[in-house]
Structure 1
Amino acid sequence: MFRREKEMEKENLIEGRNAVIEALKGDTTIEKLFVASGTKEGSINVVLAKAKEKGITVKFVDRKKLDQMSQTHSHQGVIAETTPYKYYELDDILEYAKEKNEAPFIVILDEIEDPHNLGSIIRTAEVCGVHGIIIPKRRNVGVTSVVYKTSAGAAQHMKIAKVNNINSAIDKLKENNIWIYGAEMEGKEYCFDADLTGPAALVIGSEGQGMMRLTKQKCDVLVKIPMVGRISSLNASVAGGIIMYEILKQRIKRG
């Protein structure tokens, strides 16, 4: 019970000016804002104006108080206390793609534990037109304040589904005629040689071990990124970003 409460605690704070502004623009339920006393310059005025417009309580506190609350250690003088991120269902993501009359474009994360990586992936996914991200309920970081901050507020605009079992989710996607592409160093095909224009789900493995064996076996195609340097692997968010942009590029070229 205590552990669950701590997890909820981590997911009810949004830190940093850009992330808070995006939350204020969206549908996030913000309970109150904590702003460092004496902070009046720059974009903090946008934060205060939006808060006033929405009738959100603003508490001016000593910066040390924010330092104590902060999990990102980079709050920029403002922290929003919210209801925890409301996760979506897999069906919500599929329905969203249908509403946009677009071939589904989904990202599946297989045990990403670094919140900075998750935040970066969400930011890139939002820019690339991804309809939603699927993460497992266990052994994967959730949408914490660090994730919000790293995503520059993109988490506010991304449908993220937490599932009990990644492989069961993959089976459901296949039932909906979605091809599963795994980002894999030892893949047989370069990402730019694969046809990524149709309904697609991209699986990105964990920072250390990559994709789990069964998940890898469930992929229809394993794609790799060309690398000619001495380093044999890429950060999960970088590798995912490269392939997401390849999918976007192919879709744009297809028209």
Structure 2
Amino acid sequence: MKVIEIDGLSKSYKNRKAVDGISLTVAKGEIFGIAGPNGAGKTTIVECASGLRRRDGGTLRVLGLDPWNDRRALLQRIGVQLQEAALPDAIKVGEALRMYASFYDRPADWRKLMDEWGLADKERAGFAGLSGGWKQRLFIALALVGDPEVVFLDELTTGLDPSARRMTWGLIRDMRDRGISVVLVTHFMDEAEALCDRIAIVGEGRVIAEGSPRELTAAGKSASLEDAYFALTGGGTE
């Protein structure tokens, strides 16, 4: 079953085409990675698919809904964590979860979610005082508080130390184990290889290659996914 179907998606900003005819599908219960250099169109794809930005062309269905025309209904069924996400410094963990839960018609039990993601001891902690790893744990809980079927995560582990990154990887795997489909935007090839069932490598608004980590490694005639990335794109991950 396909939870996301994108066909010929295009989006421009002034005279620059950020996304140029991209077509992708995401299956139920998989972690689908979108990788590519800065400016490749990764975040624009996620913003269009999650109903946060209007596309210029192409067709797009998420859970059978048009993300822009049906965005209120869609936002009740998805979770989104964008790269530039932030919370007020003074807001407490419990307050943030309670507030986000109020946005949904049928939210998950935010207190149970707090327990499940190890945040119970941080309920009264202010956002500013959390380490990077705890902030990301909170962001994941916030993305799940609406009890979503699909979650979009954009560069979730950027800036985290190795220990916090590995912890976050475990949380993402837990989402999939719960039956949630995950779209993961990343520029870390080790992360994509460790987590993703399939990956689309994009560049200049187009899909350069798509497949499992093993298939992409073979396509690049390389020993690792990172080497394949360089071979396929001719550029860096930054």
- Shorter-chain TM-score: what band? under 0.3
User: Relative contact order: is structure 1 or structure 2 higher (C-alpha 8 Å, sep ≥ 6)?
Assistant: 2
Higher helix share: 1
Structure richer in strand, relative to its length: 2
Q: Which has the larger radius of gyration?
A: 1
TM-score under structure 2 length normalisation: 0.25
